[in-house]
C-alpha cells in the first residue's frame, strides 16, 4: 500500500510525558499537513510543510508542540509535557502541489493519543 502511513496508531501516556508521532507521506508528495481531531469535531489544522520548510503554524500549536520534516520526506510531531487536553486523534495528510487548484490532500489513518 502506498498511502499515507502513521506510527504509532495508538498511544497512551501519562500527563507530563513527551510523545512523538511519525508520518510517512505518499512518495514524492511535496506537502505534508498535521491536523488534530477531537471527539465530535472536524479536524483542525496544526501546521504544514512544503518539502522541508514549515510554511504555516496554527495558533493551536502551542510551544509544547514541535514538528519537523527533515529532508522533505517523513515528518514527526512531538508534544512535550503532555496535558489531558492533548488527547485527540492526530491526522497527517500529504499532497502533490503543482498549482493551487490541483491540490488534493490524502489522509493517513491517524494516531490516537490518550493522556491519563
Partner 1 sequence: AQTVTQSQPEMSVQEAETVTLSCTYDTSESDYYLFWYKQPPSRQMILVIRQEAYKQQNATENRFSVNFQKAAKSFSLKISDSQLGDAAMYFCAYRWGSQGNLIFGKGTKLSVKP
Binding-site ranges for partner 1 (CB under 8 A): 3-4, 31, 33, 35, 40-45, 48, 50, 55-56, 58, 91, 95, 97, 100-101, 103-110
C-beta of 17: minimal distance to partner 1 in Å? Answer: 25
Q: Which residues contact 84 (CB under 8 A, 6 or more apart)?
A: 15, 115, 116
Q: Which is nearer to partner 1, 19 or 36 (by Cβ)? A: 36
CB of 96 to partner 1, least distance (A): 12
**Cell numbers standing for residue 86:** 492533548
Tell me the closest approach of the beta carbon of residue 104 to partner 1, in angstroms.
6
Cis-peptide into 38, omega within 30 deg: no
In the complex with partner 1, the residue whose CB is nearer, 21 or 33, is 33
Amino acid at each position: 500500500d502506498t498511502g499515507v502511513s502513521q506510527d504509532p496508531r495508538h498511544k497512551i501516556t501519562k500527563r507530563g510525558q513527551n510523545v512523538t508521532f511519525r508520518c510517512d507521506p505518499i512518495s514524492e508528495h511535496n506537502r505534508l499537513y498535521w491536523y488534530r481531531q477531537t471527539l465530535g469535531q472536524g479536524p483542525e489544522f496544526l501546521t504544514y510543510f512544503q518539502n522541508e520548510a514549515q510554511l504555516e503554524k496554527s495558533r493551536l500549536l502551542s510551544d509544547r508542540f514541535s514538528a519537523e520534516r527533515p529532508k522533505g520526506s517523513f515528518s514527526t510531531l512531538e508534544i512535550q509535557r503532555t496535558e489531558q487536553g492533548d488527547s485527540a486523534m492526530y491526522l497527517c495528510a500529504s499532497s502533490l502541489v503543482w498549482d493551487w487548484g490541483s491540490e488534493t490532500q490524502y489522509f493517513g489513518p491517524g494516531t490516537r493519543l490518550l493522556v491519563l
